[in-house]
Amino acid sequence: MRRRDFIGFLGSMPAAWPLATRAKQPTLPAVGFLNAASRNQSAHVVHAFHLGLNETGYVENRNVTIEYRWADNQYERLQALAADLVSRRVNVIATGSNRAAMAAKAATATIPIVFLTAGDPVNDGLVASLNRPGGNLTGVTTLSLEIGPKLFEVLRELLPTATAIAMLINPNMRPALVETLKSQAQALALPLGLQMIHVLQATTDQELDNAFSTVIQRGAGGLVITPDPFFLG
């Protein structure tokens, strides 16, 4: 090697060292966070999520990264958001609703998915069974559909003289779930001694305000709010 070439080689080494060092830095594992609501509505959910990660030794941007995806209550966006997380090759996807879990399942059969749902994950096709979920999904369910009748019973006990009560649903839920909730409510009217259960719908803040006004206008004694990310927010 000629002396001039050797000196040039030495001069280039310091500039190359930082690049080599950076290349050897390990990539942090990534968690995909898919939520049907908005960031502002779900601040408490994110806080709890961080606490759970911290309890297991994970701190965002220290030893794990989180890819947030918000549908902003536009459920039709969930499928594209889930696909985006898959394309970024996250290590696991955490979902906060039934619709988000179903979108994630449709997007990948290999990336682990952890869900929180209010429905029955078996009947919804998320898992094979509660004790042996199989596949790449597991999670927690509140079984809100099963305890739905109890909400009406409790409200009836609190309002023994009421002749009508109302139920609030989000029509953007899965159509089958919406119909189940409606049928469930109407079937409870007679056994509970009610003349009417008013089914109200809301998908926006304005519609939510209108629904509460309607409860008063129709003389409903109380209101049962069905589980939905928009209402929770």
How is residue 138 written in tokens? 């597991």
Residue 197 CA to residue 179 CA, distance in Å, equals 14
The DSSP code for 14 is: H
Give all domains of the chain, ordered by start, each with its CATH number: 30-141 (3.40.50.2300), 144-232 (3.40.50)
Q: What tokens were used for 55? A: 């309890």
- The pLDDT score that the predictor gives to residue 3 is 46
Q: What is the pLDDT of residue 23?
A: 52
Mean pLDDT per block of 10 residues along the chain (233 residues) reads 45 48 70 93 90 94 96 93 97 92 96 88 86 91 75 89 91 79 84 88 92 92 86 75
pLDDT in the model for residue 8: 47
User: Length of the chain, please?
Assistant: 233
SS3 for 162? coil
* Structure tokens given for 28: 């942090």
CA torsion angle for 227, 228, 232, 233 (degrees, to 10)?
180
Q: Encoding tokens for residue 107?
A: 């997007």
Q: What CA–CA distances, in Å, run from 70 to 75, 126, 222?
A: 10, 21, 32
